A and B are shown apart, each in its own frame.
Chain A
């Protein structure tokens, strides 16, 4: 199965520029849930977007997919280009053509994308009937092929199962099968393994890596789990309070985080094998600010050990430190954050 889209090597597959997404909280109050976010995703690569609750990582993905909640959320500035084509201003009907075909999506909870009243075969089949004009019998054959691809045993029997007849792990696989049925060039995975037990998560991560190798799609992996990031990502975008605060290659960002928030996150996770030399965790003090009452200047400054008056006076720009390593910190040139020993 060859995709008929013309491959472009010069431009990134997905390019998000200065994206701003606004949510109405009431008739008079609104917040920027995504505030000037930029990143790009190249063909075949995995980009992880990391952040805590309220960082804007999920709203960023909903903005790309055109799935912002109607009436309260909208893109207010910036651009989203898929394969060079601007998609942020498309109508719902036009976006429906793109979702599933060019962008695949998987979510934390498989039941948000699986319909309980149709069999998984019907649901996967519907994707290829709509987007590729396949006949019913061919669609069923594709559904079986996809279920087999994602490692569901007895796909010929399982194709007629309803979602509730499947175990949680199998539903997760069925959801992936549906997302990939039309061989999208890019898959957006929003916390796809967060609700799973760790042994099932291991199966899913292995499956996704395997499918990426076979199908060559790019993946945008949204997660809060730094262990998962280290395992799946080629590049990492760290978000804090609706903004990107650091972007770098995965090895670079784990070995040499340059923004104090990123370094703080790395230090606050308890690591397996640490009981040999028990150390107190280095927690980040304070809490994530509410988008309705952001501090002036750098949004991380009230929790930052290195904050000065400079940090409180203006939001620092996202600056490039070389090698595609971008940092939003007024003091990045002078700071030496404790590097994790590269063992």
Chain B
């Protein structure tokens, strides 16, 4: 099979699957929809792995440097000879890595859903939506052009909306879907303006050209630097606005409010969209434009760094207090994505300085596996106890041995305990932070301790804590289809750290020799161990200790429990300020002035017709009289006036 066709098939198979299941699923394929979806994605995954193998081992390197290869380009909309929107496929190291991650995690989620969603009335619709999402995400990472990425970006948003609101009979799910859509859409407005700004000055939408023109000295670069608005150069505006789009999708503070609510969707969906794939789209976007950020505008990159570091810490604090297990995982996701963001932020371009970039991509890679594993494990638990709340769980380790073991592995991985995968990527991130910014390093270290604590708080609350009070014989741990993904992902959560990402995924395509000295690892690992021990002491058996500590913490605990009132602030700003200051006056103008003008015109017409409609009396003789009068009038005119 030729390479372009092979790569094009990776996103097109899920698209075909979406069309088939969407059109015929409910009537004709209601029972086989899951198998069709899973099989088509299996083929996609195999093709992705084949592509990765070819790229990394056979054809990707030219002179020892990984190249950006545009394997397919179609001129779609031509505005001017030098400005057109193309549809193309581009592969480079991050794309190939994302292809593997997205298709594999999606495959696992499809497989898990076969068991989890069994008996659901809209089973086929669910798989159609999953396929749509997978198509959009794969298309997003393959985009060769910044406008194309925007199209897929929105498609991803729509499919996420559909999946979050899958249980649309639940008002909370509808609200969550709406919230996710509006918040990310709001951020995408920034993204669009950013795209237009960058494209306006560089006269291209193509990634390769755009990056080349903005990262090396050129007339384009001096033009965009010279133009400024409010004292900030157009380049910074463009990059910051693009980053806002990325921050919206990646749930960075303060645009994170949709992510915890998005947990209303089916749990496998959370594993796919809100853990492993869609939420890292923002990281992917910054990584895609990384040369521009790093070489031309380090200030914008600083913003990325601070936003990421703050979000990482902020979310970790909230995660320690939540009681809904999926919300804990949601905040944990936000925190880990914060890690990836600030890792990009501390990185520089070229050679060994690209460590942060590499570490970020490495963490994205390992995080996808252990976080989707955590979500799928949580899904299995929820499937069993029919509740998301910690208080309904406890003591499940004997009833669900496989879930228990895989969940434990994922917790160890995310906590950064060697030799699990999270350890390696986190060490690289900490190393990169340590080398460039000590403040960020401190925050990262603290966050890593908190991560270990809240993950094990979750683990003990689900699997230990108190004797189980659920009827385990009811339906047991779940079907084989639910166990296989857990096992496969657990294996990957252990071994993914050994993948030689440093050799493959770097900003400039050259391999990095990364070596984290063992002495450097002592502090983070002991902090993680400390967090785990603290959680063990507090939550392994049910005691009064957590409540006492919570009471002693007082205001801080309460504020964290209420997510630092960010939602309330948003509500205040939107409902009280925006609604009263803009919405109400606008409504008044619309109701009274715009509508009033139209009503006035209507009333005048009605009054006039009221006045003269009596003429149309319907009586023949009246008409004859008018006719006669008219003739008489004409006669008078002809006699006296015409002459």
| Chain A partners chain B | no
B residues with CB within 8 A of A: none
A residues with CB within 8 A of B: none
